[in-house]
Amino acid sequence: MDVVWEHREAIALAFAYTVLLFLIAGVGSTILGTLLAGMRVGPIPVLRWAGAGYVTLVRNTPLVIVIIFFRYAAPKIDLKFNFIDVVIPTGAGDIRLNNIFAACTVGLTMYTAAFVCEALRSGINAVPLGQAEAARAVGMPFGGVMRHVVLPQAFRASIPPLANVQIALIKNTTVAGALGVAEAFVRMRGLINIDATARIPIFIAFAAIFVVLVEIISFAAHRLERRVRVA
Amino acid sequence: MRRMKLGMTAVAVLLAGSLVACGEAGEDDDGGGGTGVEGAEPLTVEAESDCDGKFEEGSRMAELAEAGEIAIGNRVDQPGLGQQDTPDSVPEGFDIDMAKLLIADLCIDPESDAVNWTEAVSEQREQFLEDGTVDLVAASYSITDERRELVGQAGPYLLTGQQVLVPIDSEVESIADLEGEEVCAAEGSTSLENIELEGAVGVPAATYGQCAEDVVNGTVPAMSTDGSILRGLAQQYEGEVKVVGPEFSEERIGIGYSPDAPEMCEWINGVITEAYDSGDWEQAFQYHLGTEDEDAPEPPALDECQA
């Protein structure tokens, strides 16, 4: 366990990357996923097809290929993220949100959005048709029906699957580790390389921190579920 | 059905895009020749024919010679040291030649299917030796005290140091110029650790090929690992990248063996010493790692076997 304690600052920095990847991709995928769900249930055929096409394309592609596309194929067609360069100084070293971080975040966001869209669509399907019809009857346009009537109920119904998607996302951030972001998984492999005699304590420590992070998300989801429950 | 077809086409386009990237990273345009001195002859290793009574009864070497099969842990992505193009082919490189000499000494044909070449990435190597997945590790395996607590390491048969690979038009002259800049290396490797010790920001990648791709397309300003690997990569991307700077670390590369078979150490040292004396070591070095400007260095002195 000594080696874990000795490198606690580096480990904290690594988990900061993990959490940042999760937060940015989490918020981004929720917004993009909601738009996609809106497109898929909306009245305009072109947008419906586009939404369905996106989900089919991205959901059927392994995450690592989606990220590799943004990391190695995109720069070849001059789609680069070099304009992103944010440095957050911390006591343990800088957190650098650079072109590599951006490419990985975009990949994670686009991939997760497809799953958010489908989780949300299941929630939309759970809203009784009469709700939307009643909203239309009082003269609301499609946007108003979605914003004020359907989506609030749909989000409530889809909190458990949405939490599932976000928990999968925080674990998926380890894929970014193999593609250039120095997040937790990379630090774990590095520590094992430094001191292979301590690999079991190192492994347990990292697994335990992941369990804590996932528990925080499920706790938050649980509280949210209780809070918005219909009495 | 139409929707599905559309999706599949799009997936194919996406895949093709990423495959282009991978294809170029793994391209080998020197037509099967070595990565070292031009025109150098590859080392051919022939299996010994008579192993009856050659090894002490009950030793691991006797068991392996008797079984006629051996599993080797090697690298597949380090040009010059250990590179394997397809999983079924026999890998190539300096590490591989050392392993072949050991295999041949057990009366096993190193080119045959009796040898099971297994990719062993950095953090798998100790485990593979402990649980018996492989019998020997020849995978740019640097000798450290921590590792010797877990497994046996004989050698060193090669001394290398870490250098820097940068785009051809870069003004970077050594690792000191890269303080606070991103530098790529394989995740879980000692190279990545050394980069951070020198004050640069380590960027992890799954393979060194990916790092080289990042350097070529300008995603990172440099990558760093053993000079021998970098020179191999510089040949693949000729005209696009260059190797610069003095060596800023020293790695002692050795052969890993099972902790349960300490008798293997003397045998490994014996075979390596024989290769030193016969000139096989120098020939393999020139073919895989040599440069036109310099002669092959003196082979490094081997560590004494721990009792």
- The enclosing domain of B66 has a CATH number of 3.40.190.10
CA–CA dist A178, B189 (Å, integer): 12
Q: Write down the ipTM of this complex.
A: 0.74
Q: Do A61 and B149 touch (CB under 8 A)?
A: no
Q: What is the mean pLDDT of residues A113-121?
A: 95
Q: Do A190 and B187 touch (CB under 8 A)?
A: yes
B300 in any annotated domain: no
DSSP tag of B166:
E
Q: Please state the φ and ψ torsions of residue B123, each to the nearest 5 degrees.
A: -85, 0
Ranges of H-type helices in B78-168: 94-105, 125-130, 145-150
Q: Do A100 and B189 touch (CB under 8 A)?
A: no
Residue of A7, A68, A90, A203 to mutate, interface with B, max B Cβ within 10 Å: A68
- Identify the structural domains of chain A with CATH numbers, from first to last: 2-227 (1.10.3720.10)
Q: What are the chain B neighbours of A72 within 8 Å (beta carbons)?
A: 18, 21-22, 25, 210, 213-214, 217
Q: What is the pLDDT of residues A3-60, one digit of tens each?
A: 888 888 889 999 999 999 999 999 999 999 999 999 999 889 999 999 999 999 999 9
For residues B126 and B178, membership in a common domain is answered with: no
Question: Domain of B199?
Answer: 162-244
Tell me the two tokens of residue B165. 């690979």
CA A174 vs. chain centroid, Å, equals 12
Min Cα distance A54 → chain B (Å) is 8
Nearest C-alpha neighbor of A2 from the set A147, A200, A212, A198: A198
The total domain count for chain B is 2
For residues B100 and B240, membership in a common domain is answered with: no
Nearest C-alpha neighbor of A114 from the set A23, A220, A40, A21: A40
pLDDT in tens, chain B (307 residues): 455 555 555 555 555 544 444 444 433 434 445 677 777 788 888 888 777 778 888 888 888 888 889 999 998 888 888 888 887 888 988 899 999 999 998 888 888 888 999 888 877 888 899 888 999 999 888 888 888 888 899 979 998 889 999 999 988 888 888 888 889 998 878 888 889 888 888 899 888 888 999 999 888 999 998 888 888 888 888 889 999 988 888 889 899 999 888 889 999 999 999 999 998 898 888 888 877 777 778 888 888 887 5
pLDDT at B3: 53
B274 in any annotated domain: yes
CA–CA dist B201, B222 (Å, integer): 11
pLDDT, averaged across chain A = 90
pLDDT at B12: 52
pLDDT at B186: 85
pLDDT at A10: 87
Min Cα distance A174 → chain B (Å) is 12
For residues B240 and B182, membership in a common domain is answered with: yes
For residues B64 and B150, membership in a common domain is answered with: yes
Q: Do B210 and A72 touch (CB under 8 A)?
A: yes
Tally of CA atoms within 13 A in the half-sphere of A71 that contains its CB: 32
Q: What are the chain B neighbours of A63 within 8 Å (beta carbons)?
A: none
Q: Do A196 and B203 touch (CB under 8 A)?
A: no
Q: In this structure, are strands B82-83 and B77-78 parallel, antiparallel, or unpaired?
A: antiparallel
Min Cα distance B166 → chain A (Å) is 17
Nearest to B190 among A94, A99, A193 (CB): A193
Q: Please state the φ and ψ torsions of residue B5, each to the nearest 5 degrees.
A: -60, -45
Strands (E), A69-173: 86-88, 95-97
Q: What are the chain B neighbours of A73 within 8 Å (beta carbons)?
A: 17-18, 20-21
How many other C-beta atoms are found inside a 10 Å radius of the C-beta of residue A75? Answer: 21
B23 in any annotated domain: no
pLDDT at B29: 39
For residues B115 and B137, membership in a common domain is answered with: yes
For residues B131 and B182, membership in a common domain is answered with: no
Residue type, B150: L
Nearest to B11 among A60, A71, A193 (CB): A60
For residues B76 and B139, membership in a common domain is answered with: yes
Min Cα distance A191 → chain B (Å) is 7
For residues B130 and B206, membership in a common domain is answered with: no
B297 in any annotated domain: no
Q: What are the chain B neighbours of A94 within 8 Å (beta carbons)?
A: 201
Reading phi first (left if > 0) and then psi (alpha if -120 to 50, else beta), residue B39 is in left
For residues B94 and B215, membership in a common domain is answered with: no
Ranges of H-type helices in chain B: 2-25, 60-67, 94-105, 125-130, 145-150, 190-197, 208-216, 227-236, 264-278, 280-288
B91 in any annotated domain: yes
B223 in any annotated domain: yes
Residue type, B192: L
pLDDT at A231: 58
Tell me the two tokens of residue A104. 């990985």
For residues B168 and B104, membership in a common domain is answered with: no
CA–CA dist B57, B61 (Å, integer): 9
Q: Do A186 and B188 touch (CB under 8 A)?
A: yes
Q: Do B189 and A177 touch (CB under 8 A)?
A: no
Question: Is pLDDT above 80 for A140?
Answer: yes
Tell me the two tokens of residue A215. 């528990």
B166 in any annotated domain: yes
Residues A56, A62, A64, A69, Cα dihedral to 10°: -40
In this complex, is the C-beta atom of A88 within 8 Å of any C-beta atom belonging to chain B?
Answer: no
Cβ pairs bridging A and B (under 8 Å): 118
CA–CA dist B229, B184 (Å, integer): 14
B305 in any annotated domain: no
For residues B132 and B91, membership in a common domain is answered with: yes
In this complex, is the C-beta atom of B197 within 8 Å of any C-beta atom belonging to chain A?
Answer: no
Q: Do B3 and A52 touch (CB under 8 A)?
A: yes
CA–CA dist B211, B220 (Å, integer): 8
pLDDT at B2: 52
Sign, CA dihedral B245-B250-B253-B259, equals negative
For residues B145 and B258, membership in a common domain is answered with: yes
Q: What are the chain A neighbours of B200 within 8 Å (beta carbons)?
A: none
pLDDT at B31: 40
